[in-house]
Chain A
């Protein structure tokens, strides 16, 4: 049942009344969320706040008990292939016998279609995507030989190769080196400037203001959402992180 009329087509991501539950405790409770197109948005919140669950539910990887999700007005089923997804690096076995380029080509499998093999065009696009993340010299390297930061860049290239208008990244800066973080942020900012929407599950409050222009603060419920300068306030952070905050960041000093 495709929706004939678009619902909230003005929002890159529109979430309404979304509730997800593992067992009896809700992982996400009554989420209403709008992320406009062309922003670079961080989703932050303490451990167990449901950040990853939120994007998994949005992508249809987790079944919500209530609510609905739209991307640019479409249901997720109609947007497959137009959303670049970068899962957490640790979600796969990096000892899998394959090369860096092969992993990036996986981002094209959907557009290649059933019963066909990736050809020269796919190869060239994969190499171009690897060049964008500075990994062109590693194209034929075994993925088991990559460092954590390199793995993350390969995953990003696999999403880039789809040329999707919306990019969703799950903790891309977790445990990567400074070079990789700089490469990723520069690239994401260029994509944002080119009109893409970039949504990042982020864990480092100290870099929110320098890296992002839109912010969602989450702790099971939505604590706050909007432009970073309006939302990144001590009150909001305290509401989300409570006593943990002192250990994570010094918001008062960091704020204007």
Chain B
């Protein structure tokens, strides 16, 4: 604990933490739109295509200057997006193939430039390798202003065009029919995602950046019921993942930030997929089990109603074995007990027989029957049903 407090006390670590949280928040916020609009893979291609731009920005500025590096990354990212569009329009290649080609070619150019710059030497060029896998420790105090500015602009745009962005993300065709400038809105959203990627490169690196875009949004979707909630929670998860990842990476020597951030964010995704209420796998499995237990009780009740109808006796006293034959298997004792607790059946004597019998109560006779196959809504599919 004291080691952590010491770490937090240093100015550099605070800058890194703040920067990482900021980058995570920006990526999380815009990643929510990217995921909902199915642009996750485009984000991956843009991130990889940013590498040559990072090197060009460095060459032009002659130093590690975040402003020119981001401008370069944005330029080659946009160029890559343009080339992808031209390939899909001019050839028979589909979008995924175009994406794969452009991603690898731009990344290859980036790696060639990077190794060339490193071979030339110079203290500053050593830091460029950090853009491959992310290096939060390289975030400087003056970088915070640029990152903060990008984040603020993105936030203001999202707030200003909130309902238009929502409409375009949900149903672009309807938006176009309503006369909204859909192309402009879509370009704006894509450019903002590209900005988030470019800004996040320092933290996660070109190779893993897409995870910082997708993971917070995927996790946030599990917990929320509205777009506003999803965007806010996604930004929060992004910020937390960025900060925690940066802290872990800063506290150990030679630990690239990107992979750590990705692992942290993925951990959040895993937990969200498992335990989120409603959408989580565990709550769904529990709900399915509850549904099964309801089905069974309902089938017991239906069997008793059938027996009563077959004997033309609403107060037919059914023995357990009789119900079992009607059902194909003896009903578990707790089913009968629970039906009894619900007041749908009651235990009765049927002398001279000494075995326990049950008859339908007034409520049990009136109770609704399950569907034709004796099943009430089976609930979400469970592994054993799906297998």
Contact = CB atoms under 8 A, between A and B. Distances in A.
B221 A97 contact: yes
Interface in A58-100: 59-61, 77, 80-81, 83, 85, 87, 91-93, 96-99
B160 A92 contact: no
A85 B225 CA distance: 26
Contacts of A80: 177-179
A97 B230 contact: yes
A98 B174 contact: no
Given A97-B221, A99-B225, A109-B167, A91 B173 contact: yes
Given A96-B169, A96-B170, A103-B170, A110 B178 contact: yes
Interface in B158-194: 160-164, 166-167, 169-171, 173-174, 176-180
A102 B226 contact: yes
Contacts of B229: 97
A109 B163 contact: yes
A112 interface: yes
Q: How large is the interface on B (under 10, 10 to 19, 20 to 34, 35 or more residues)?
A: 20 to 34
Contact of B179 (A77, A97, A103, A106): A77
Nearest to A80: B179
Interface string A201-240: 0000000000000000000000000000000000000000
B145 to A, nearest CB: 27
Contacts of A96: 36, 169-170, 227
B173 A98 contact: no
Nearest to A59: B177
B171 A112 contact: no
A87 B174 contact: yes
A98 B171 contact: no
B178 A61 contact: no
A136 B3 CA distance: 58
B118 interface: no
Contacts, number: 70
A11 interface: no
Given A80-B179, A96-B36, A106 B160 contact: no
Contacts of B382: none
Nearest to B162: A117
Contact of B164 (A97, A109, A158): A109
A97 B174 contact: no
B36 A93 contact: yes
A81 B176 CA distance: 11
Contacts of B174: 85, 87, 106, 158
Contacts of A103: 170
B162 to A, nearest CB: 7
Contacts of B176: 60-61
A117 B171 contact: no
B361 interface: no
Nearest to B279: A144
A115 B160 contact: yes
B224 interface: yes
A63 to B, nearest CB: 12
Contact of A118 (B163, B169, B173, B226): B163
Nearest to A91: B173
Nearest to B173: A87
Nearest to A118: B163
A142 interface: yes
Contacts of B225: 97-99, 142
A83 B221 CA distance: 33
A60 B36 CA distance: 25
Interface string B223-242: 01111011000000000000
A96 to B, nearest CB: 5
B180 A98 contact: no
B157 to A, nearest CB: 12
A87 B171 contact: yes
Contacts of A85: 174, 177-178
Contact of B178 (A102, A109, A114): A109
A102 B166 CA distance: 10
Interface string B91-132: 000000000000000000000000000000000000000000
The listed residue with most A CB atoms (<10 A of its CB), out of B160, B166, B174, B221, is: B174
A78 to B, nearest CB: 10
Contacts of A59: 177
A81 B179 contact: yes
16 contacts: A61-B176, A80-B177, A81-B179, A83-B177, A87-B173, A87-B174, A91-B173, A92-B171, A96-B36, A97-B230, A106-B170, A109-B164, A109-B167, A110-B179, A112-B163, A158-B174
Given A96-B170, A97-B226, A110-B180, 6 more contacts: A59-B177, A77-B179, A98-B166, A109-B178, A109-B180, A110-B179
Interface of A: 59-61, 77, 80-81, 83, 85, 87, 91-93, 96-99, 102-103, 106, 109-110, 112, 114-115, 117-118, 142, 158
Interface of B: 36, 160-164, 166-167, 169-171, 173-174, 176-180, 221, 224-227, 229-230
Closest 8 CB pairs of A and B: A80-B179, A85-B177, A110-B178, A92-B171, A59-B177, A97-B230, A96-B170, A87-B173
